[in-house]
Amino acid sequence: MGVKSMNFIQTRLAEVDSFPFSYESIELSNEFVKNMLNVINGILSTSSPLNVVDISLMEEDSVVSLLLSFDTNNSEVYIFWPSDSNTSHNVGIKIPYHIFCKYYDDLWYPSSDDIWVYDTQNTFCIEISHEEIVTFRRLE
């Protein structure tokens, strides 16, 4: 993983005093992230969402409950921060889904971040947009 990408993740996670570093958060290679972003972009453009929820007025606990309510089998997930065309960092990590749910607000910043959550068993994809919209898709 490039220095710029590592700095992005380290900066983001360093701001989280309570992030459970005992869990292995596996940093993903640039090539893997690039390939997965292409796959997920295809999924987002061709599949129908099962749930679309505006979380802009929801309390943090309600968003956590929403994320936990999705049928995910509590698997491990890849979390990607896709870059826009003005930046060169596409980064991702791998963590347990329940850890993502608990710390989603430390890993995603409204108004500036889009994140994509993709499980390692290829069964679901969640997009949380900078517009504070959560979209859950079941993969076939």
Helices 97-107 & 3-14 angle (0-180, nearest 10) = 90
Query: Which residues are CB-neighbours of 94 under 8 A, at least 6 positions away?
Result: 25, 26, 28, 76, 77, 78, 79, 120
70 contacts 136 by C-beta, under 8 angstroms: yes
pLDDT of residue 14: 53
For residue range 35-86, list pLDDT tens digits in order: 777 787 787 777 788 899 999 999 999 999 999 999 887 788 988 887 654 4
Of 94 and 128, the structure prediction assigns the larger pLDDT to: 128
Mean pLDDT over each residue of the chain, to the nearest integer: 77
For residue range 113-128, list pLDDT tens digits in order: 889 898 888 888 899 9
The values of phi and psi at residue 30, to 5°, are: -55, -40
pLDDT of residue 89: 57
Domain assignments of the chain as residue spans, ordered by start: 3-138
pLDDT of 9 > 80? The answer is no
> How many other CB atoms are found less than 10 A from the CB of residue 80?
21
Q: Is the pTM of this model over 0.85?
A: no
pLDDT of residue 16: 52
Two structure tokens written together for 108? 């995603």
Return the amino acid letter for 84. Answer: D
97 contacts 74 by C-beta, under 8 angstroms: yes
Residue with tokens 């972009």: 41
